[in-house]
Structure 1
Amino acid sequence: MITTTELAQVLFATGLQPSDESSPFEIREAVDERLCACGGEPARCAAYVAQEAGDHPETYVRRMRWALDAVSGAYALAAA
């Protein structure tokens, strides 16, 4: 089972932006597509996230907070 943190890392690695105001469906779809591109391994996306955190620390926290909130909402709705 993939954790919320892992899902957020996968979302972080997609092209979606907070300003896109994506629907829960669009968020889940983007996560699925990116996870497939990473061979189903969330750790591959985590490596990208770590690189971005090092390269752009000024935007990392804001984007990760958005990703955590976005997947929490998108997957809570899917489970309901």
Structure 2
Amino acid sequence: MNAMLDDVRSEALFASDVQRSQEPTAELIRAAVIAMMERLGTTGCAEKVAEEFGEHPECALNRMRWARTATRMAFG
């Protein structure tokens, strides 16, 4: 269950406008994840991730790695 929740949170952060270069706080990351889940839902976030991997795979991989690390840090 935790792994599935980690995936959903990572996809939501990935789909958001938050950038690694902003050096976002845990609070900002949590807010972005919640906002994207409310806006797009689980399926919508997954679709955004798939779209980015299809169009920009060279950038998407690094963004997903960052999103996973950032959400684990923000949500504990």
Q: Do the structures match in fold with TM over 0.5?
A: yes
Contact kept in structure 2, 1:7 and 1:42, CA below 8 Å: no
Q: Which runs of 5+ in 2 are unaligned?
A: none
List 4+ stretches of structure 1 deviating above 6 A. Answer: none
Letter in structure 2 aligned against 1:12: F
Map of 2:13 onto structure 1: 11
Letter in structure 1 aligned against 2:11: Q
* CA apart distance, 1:24: 0.2
Q: Number of residue pairs matched?
A: 74
Q: Is 1:57 matched with 2:57? A: yes
Please, what TM-score do these two structures have when normalized by structure 2? 0.92
Q: Root-mean-square deviation (CA), in Å?
A: 1.2
Map of 1:32 onto structure 2: 34
Report percent identity of matched pairs.
36
Task: Name the CA distance, whole Å, in 2 between partners of 1:34 and 1:47.
Answer: 12
Task: Name the CA distance, whole Å, in 1 between partners of 2:62 and 2:75.
Answer: 20
Q: Which runs of 5+ in 1 are unaligned?
A: none
Q: Is 1:46 matched with 2:25? A: no
Please, what TM-score do these two structures have when normalized by structure 1? 0.87
Q: Give CA-to-partner distance per residue, 1:44-75, whole Å, 9 cap, x none.
A: 11011001000001101100000000000000
Greater helix fraction, Structure 1 or Structure 2? 2
